[in-house]
Amino acid sequence: MKHSIEKIFKNLNLYLLIILTLTTISFLFIVEQYYSYKKVDNLSNQKVILFNLLEEQKQLKHIDIIQFNASIAKLNHATKNLYTQNQYNYISLYLLNHTQSYIVDLNTLSDMTKTFDTQSREYLKIIENNKKTNLIILSLENTHEKIASFIDSMLIKNISYDKKRFDIFSLVFILLFILLLITTFWYKKRLRSIHDDILFLYAIDGNKNAEIFSQEVDAISLRMKRKTQISDNPAMVDPITEIPNNKGMLQAYSERKGIKDSSFSSVSILEIDNFSKSKRTFSQEFTQDILKKVAYTISLHQQATDVIARSDYNQFTLIFSRTSKEQLYKHTDLIRQSISELKLSSPEKEIVNITVTGAFINKANHAPLEESIRKAKELLQSARHLGNNKIFQTKDLPK
């Protein structure tokens, strides 16, 4: 069974998209873990700030109100940061459903911090009035202990969440790694087979018994074999240009018309402007050089289902098949442009610019080839006096 290269590369695009998606998910997981650790640092830092505030107050020293306000502001800012950092917990948001519970804990922590703030300010007033502070110190210690215990519980929950996230991602990443490993080797094998197919086409003396992997290369190989059969028969090949003659053109067309991939066909006849049967301005050797260059230039544009031939002394016939009529004319005119760029040095050391004039006919699907060739010759005969270096269509003729 032959495999389609087109289908393999379409699947490869999907495979690369999946890899990109998995890489993005992995990046989001790293971001989530980073902010999870930041939350741990945040909560631990709040415990330190609260402990320092409590110790300063227990020592019954005069507390700098500015420093006190700064510490309280740090606590409030840390709590706000926890709300922000929680937004990056993608797994908790969409899979574990821990977000609502965590928000409740943050609200509770915020309320407890406000209570500690209120009690601390009352304590500061008592110190200023030189009143007894034992009762308020006990209250502060109790509030501090509650906050510290609550923060510890949040840290434990965070560790639990991290473990659940890790368990989920461990399973997912193991499965994905196995899938990617299998898929990578699968594609490696197929790409290697495609590479072997290309080498088979590239080789001059390829192994005729080699097993072809892909449908496309199999079709190309078949067409190459058919082309070789024609070129191996001297009666069907023009000896100067080494492309088919009229007989070879008809044979090639009969073989290839059944394997056309497109819906539209055309017949064009290109005539070299520099010389003709009645106007032999160059030596035979230089004329042959021009014919070889023109034939070679045309062959560079030849596609698998195309047929080209040297059909007369200075004429070439092109039978093309394309997906649209516009492409047929565009590609034919592109050949004309390519030939017009040819510059050869004559035996007299003069630079000769080669041009061709052509007649282009759209061929109906069921129309005989001979009829289209006849129309192209008539069009070329009528268009000769209209100018050189142009591809003429029937609509270009004056009415």
pLDDT digits (tens, 9 = 90+) for 351-367: 999 999 999 999 988 88
Determine the residue type at 61: K
CATH classification of the domain holding 146: 1.20.1420
pLDDT digits (tens, 9 = 90+) for 95-120: 566 667 777 877 888 888 888 778 77
Is residue 370 within a helix (H) or strand (E), and if so which, with residue range?
helix 369-383
Predicted local confidence at residue 335, as pLDDT = 96
Domain membership flag for residue 117:
yes
Provide the 3-class DSSP secondary structure of residue 267.
strand
Domain membership flag for residue 36:
yes
> Which one, of 92, 71, 93, 84, lies nearest residue 39 by Cα?
84
Domain membership flag for residue 199:
no
When pLDDT is averaged across residues 59-71 and rounded to a whole number, the result is 64
Unique residue bearing structure tokens 């840290």: 155
- Count up the domains in the chain and report the number: 2
- The residue ranking higher by pLDDT, 195 or 66, is 195
Same domain, 173 and 271: no
When pLDDT is averaged across residues 294-298 and rounded to a whole number, the result is 94
Same domain, 385 and 274: yes
DSSP track, 13-38: HHHHHHHHHHHHHHHHHHHHHHHHHH
> Which one, of 277, 301, 298, lies nearest residue 287 by Cα?
277
Domain membership flag for residue 229:
no
Lowest average pLDDT, out of 76-80, 206-210, 212-216, 344-348, goes to 206-210
Tell me which residue range forms the domain holding 364.
239-396
> Which one, of 292, 29, 357, lies nearest residue 168 by Cα?
29
User: Which among 156, 173, 192 is the end of a domain?
Assistant: 192
Instruction: Check whether 210 has a pLDDT greater than 80.
Output: no
User: Measured in whole angstroms, how far is the alpha carbon of residue 198 from the centre of its chain?
Assistant: 22
Close Cβ partners of 70 (under 8 Å, ≥ 6 residues apart): none
Domain membership flag for residue 301:
yes
Same domain, 18 and 108: yes
Provide the 3-class DSSP secondary structure of residue 265.
strand
pLDDT digits (tens, 9 = 90+) for 27-59: 877 777 777 778 778 888 888 877 777 776 666
What's the whole-model pTM score? 0.47
Domain membership flag for residue 361:
yes
Same domain, 37 and 162: yes
Predicted local confidence at residue 322, as pLDDT = 87
pLDDT digits (tens, 9 = 90+) for 138-171: 777 787 788 888 888 888 877 777 777 777 777 8
| DSSP structural state of residue 376 | H
Instruction: Check whether 215 has a pLDDT greater than 80.
Output: no
Predicted local confidence at residue 204, as pLDDT = 44
CATH classification of the domain holding 364: 3.30.70.270
